[in-house]
């Protein structure tokens, strides 16, 4: 029996876990695969036992970076990219794959552990010119 079995919901062959179930799976040994872009992951990171960060657009070329023998929980900002990533992993022989329902947005809203980098948070007078306090342009 796999770590994700009996947890969450299955839609069109993909398993989705609520943050509570996701945290339990991570504590049991699943690895979080954070699919967000660098800028977003730097602002707010999942505070969990083990994370591998691979931006979603780079995932197809970096499958070898993922442990095929471990359960993988896919996460992004809102859950948009996890479905495509889960299908890719399943198609390439990864057996234990689940998606974090709602992504970082729901994880944070429900009060689950995060690490925030104040210098990376966006600031500015107008939303059209928001930038992180760090020197990136």
The whole-number average pLDDT for the span 48-71 is: 96
More confident residue, 135 or 53: 53
Q: What is the mean pLDDT of the chain?
A: 88
Nearest to 133 by CA among 115, 116, 120, 117: 120
Nearest to 40 by CA among 98, 107, 111: 107
Determine the pLDDT at residue 132: 57
Instruction: Please state, in angstroms and rounded to a whole number, the distance separating the CA atoms of residues 70 and 30.
Output: 6
> Where exactly are the structural domains of the chain?
9-132
More confident residue, 121 or 48: 48
More confident residue, 44 or 98: 98
Instruction: Please state, in angstroms and rounded to a whole number, the distance separating the CA atoms of residues 110 and 102.
Output: 10
DSSP annotation of 103: H
Secondary element (H or E) of residue 11: strand 9-11
Three-class DSSP category at 26: helix
Instruction: Please state, in angstroms and rounded to a whole number, the distance separating the CA atoms of residues 120 and 123.
Output: 9
Least confident of 95-99, 106-110, 116-120: 116-120
Determine the pLDDT at residue 137: 44
Q: Which two tokens stand for residue 32?
A: 């979080």
User: Looking at domain 9-132, does it have CATH number 3.90.700.10?
Assistant: no
């Amino acid at each position: 029996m796999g770590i994700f079995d009996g947890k969450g919901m299955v839609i069109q062959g993909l398993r989705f876990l609520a943050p509570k179930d996701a945290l339990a799976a991570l504590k049991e040994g699943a690895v979080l695969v954070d699919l967000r872009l660098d800028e977003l992951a730097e602002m707010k990171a999942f505070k969990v036992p083990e994370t591998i960060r691979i931006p979603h657009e780079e995932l197809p070329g970096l499958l070898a970076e993922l442990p095929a023998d471990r359960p993988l929980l896919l996460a992004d900002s809102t859950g948009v990219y996890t479905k495509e990533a889960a299908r890719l992993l399943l198609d390439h022989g990864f057996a234990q794959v689940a998606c974090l329902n709602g992504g970082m947005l729901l994880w944070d809203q429900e009060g689950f552990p995060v690490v925030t980098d104040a210098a990376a948070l966006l600031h500015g007078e107008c939303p059209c010119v928001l930038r992180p306090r760090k020197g990136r342009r």
